[in-house]
Amino acid sequence: MIINQWYVADDIANVTDKPRKVRLLGFDFVLFRDATGAITCLSDVCIHRGASLGEGRLENGCVECPYHGWQFDGRGSVVKIPSLPADQKIPTRARVDKYPVAEKYGWIWVFLGDLPEVERPPLPDFPEYDDTANWRTVRGEYTWKADYARVVENGLDFAHAPFVHPSFGDRNNAVIHDFELEQDEWSARGKVTYIPPLPKGIWKFIRKERTPVQAQPGYHMSGATMRLDVWLTATWRMVIFDVNTPVDENTTLTRWIMARSFLRQGIWDGDSIKRTTKIFDQDAVIVEKICPETVPTDLREELAVKSDSLMNAFRFKRRELIERGWQLDIEKLRAEINGRRAVVIPSPGRREEAGRNYVLKTAPLLPAKTSPAPAVAAA
């Protein structure tokens, strides 16, 4: 799991008049609305005696610890310690880490890391979401017992569709012809053409038999986002846009939005949700049993072919971030820290105020590599 990235922590609608405890990258955080009404994200661990702030309550725009009533404002600073006399100053170290928040597409995006704002990656574009005149959207969630990078790669892998999704592809026409990758610093995508199975149901009247379908899977590192565009006919288009939050190293929470340019009446929403969920169910049978559970950083550990080029691009980018020293050291967390001491993901405040001491130490990271290993091209 990698820091210095944006991850979706929750739906905006879930943050109301109570603190909201969420778990990302194996760490707990608390979401709440501060005195201005803005959503704030803080480390969940009270620096006094380790209680969960998410189990507390809101008081005057602050989150109040349920153990001793310490109140933390939207900056993460303690503004009230009930046991202290009024004439005693609150210690300068009385603060917890605060993380940047963005609200977009109905979700709360949290930046987990200490990069300054100008160095943070952008959020992915999803213009169809706000184009309500031409698109109808439905949304949902799906939990996987799998590594989040495996889940993202599964969405980028179109070669599996004929074998895992009978309604999506034809196992007797499974060739993926060469396609060009479009890439930028934080994302990549590639358009492929495939032969769908014989149409059934309503599709018999809409699409001619064996009419080729175009699809464009792609990823964005922010939110571990996977986007799939499908051109079902000359005028009918579908987009599946999902963000994949690593709850921990073995659990991924996918929040998805499906947008369609056709059959935009609400009566068809249930069918869209059912079809999208069915695709995830079919994938989970495979993805939750993949070995090894985590995505290898060395491409030589799994044999790749040309049709895997989009997945390889994701692996190259992910490895680049790991070699910057941004990957959590899970083994060290398990062996030395878990249950024995509290640590946190570093926040921008630690870098901006380098001279100011924090109570909790930061989580261990794998060391950066100054000379990355050469990339291995697909066979």
> DSSP per residue over 1-63, as a string?
-BSSEEEEEEEGGG-SSS-EEEEETTEEEEEEE-TTS-EEEEESB-TTT--BGGGSEEETTEE
Q: What is the DSSP letter of 269?
A: H
Would you mind telling me the total number of residues written for the chain in this entry?
379
Neighbouring C-alpha atoms within 13 Å toward the C-beta of 249: 12
> Long-range contacts: 295-303, Cβ < 8 Å, 24+?
295/147, 295/149, 295/150, 295/153, 297/322, 298/373, 298/376, 299/375, 299/376, 300/376, 303/379
The interaxial angle of helices 269-287 and 148-156, nearest 10 deg, is 120
Among the listed residues 59, 98, 58, the one whose alpha carbon sits nearest the alpha carbon of residue 77: 98
Place of tokens 């924090």: 358
Side-chain half-sphere exposure of 376, counting CA atoms within 13 A: 15
Q: Are 228 and 169 in contact (CB under 8 A)?
A: no
Residue from 229, 242, 243, 235 nearest 264 by CA: 235
> What string of pLDDT tens digits covers the 379 residues of the chain?
999 999 999 999 999 999 999 999 999 999 999 999 999 999 999 999 999 999 999 999 999 999 999 999 999 999 999 999 988 999 989 999 999 999 999 999 999 999 999 999 999 999 999 999 999 999 999 999 999 999 999 999 988 888 888 777 667 776 777 788 899 999 999 998 877 665 555 555 555 555 677 889 999 999 999 999 998 887 889 999 999 999 999 999 999 999 999 999 999 999 999 999 999 999 999 999 999 888 888 778 888 888 888 999 999 999 999 999 999 999 998 887 777 888 999 999 988 876 568 899 999 999 998 654 444 433 3
Residue 159: left (phi > 0), alpha (psi -120 to 50), or beta?
A: alpha
Q: Quote the CA–CA distance of 337 and 71 in Å, as a whole number.
A: 27
Residue 377: predicted pLDDT = 39
Task: Please give the backbone phi and psi of residue 334, each rounded to the nearest 5 degrees, phi first.
Answer: -65, -45
Q: Measured between alpha carbons, how far is 239 from 120 in angstroms, rounded to an integer? A: 26
Residue 22 to residue 53: CA distance in whole angstroms: 11
Q: Read off the tokens for 312.
A: 């390889």
Distance CA 242, CA 218 (A): 11
* Per-residue pLDDT tens digits for 340-364: 888 999 999 988 876 568 899 999 9
